[in-house]
Amino acid sequence: MKIALIGFGGMGKTLHRIAQERGHEISIIIDPKDPSATHKTLVEADLKTVDTVIDFSSAEAILDNIKTCHDSGTNLVVGTTGWYDKVPTIKDSLQDNGIGFLWSSNFSIGVNLYFAIVEKAAKLINSFDEYDVWGHEIHHYNKADSPSGTAKTLEKILLDNIGRKTAVVEDRLNRRREDNEIHFSSVRGGLVNFGHTIGFDSPADTITISHSARNRDGYALGAIKAAEWLQGKKGYFEMKDFLNFNS
């Protein structure tokens, strides 16, 4: 598979290494600052020479990048976060489109297993109202958005499956938290930090479910595997479609 990478920061370089280890060719690298990039902008590149574009760049560029890939007929895998409000519109426009498009807030297979575990736990906790719910995440100091896309996904899982919780508070609280709210906190620090914890707390005990990553490799491997799976497919997909263990 021939791949174009958009964004050549820490994640882009990890994607480059993992793709080559799996026998793929990175023939185009798009980055406005990195001197090793082949092009500064996506429109400069001939995307008809690649099978798939993998985008881990910026939320501001995502709509233009989708249009450019659509115009060239090139599949697109997106791990860029911070554009969640546009997902429903993009989903509708790409559902029966001429390219394959796959987006995820997190491509790590371990994190997606974590999503499934948290969903099952939330469904169980829903029947026991003595348990309160909270969430916490930590990411490296270069993380561009807060809370992360992974945190947003966890928030949605909890709200969808625990009926007594109807809202999430992500900001600092200078008041008592309401019973219907979930407080989800975010911390940014360190060079390579990726961690999430969901807590279920009762007067008698506490249950915590955590995931932490050692490095970026799991995220990159999941994105490359998703791009491999997307070959020959058309329309809008998410990570759960590739993994097929969503229950």
Q: Dump the DSSP string for 199-225.
A: EEE-SS-EEEEEEE-SSSHHHHHHHHH
Location of structure tokens 């998410």: 238
160 Cβ contact list (under 8 Å, min separation 6): 122
Catalytic (active site) residue 86 = no
Q: Which amino acid would we find at residue 154?
A: L
139 is catalytic: yes
β-pairing, 194-201 vs 206-212, is antiparallel
The Cβ of residue 27 has, within 10 Å, a number of other Cβ atoms equal to: 15
Contact 110, 213 (CB under 8 A): yes
Q: Is the peptide bond before 147 cis (omega within 30 degrees of 0)?
A: yes
Nearest Cα neighbor of 103 from 161, 147, 59 is: 59
The active-site residue, picked from 70, 143, 156, 233, is 143
Residue with tokens 């997902």: 87
238: helix, strand or coil: strand
Q: Among 139, 152, 165, 196, which one carries the catalytic annotation? A: 139
Residues 86-95: contacts with CB within 8 Å, 24+ apart? 86/62, 90/63, 90/66, 90/236, 91/236, 94/66, 94/235, 94/236, 95/235, 95/236
Catalogue the active-site residues.
Answer: 139, 143
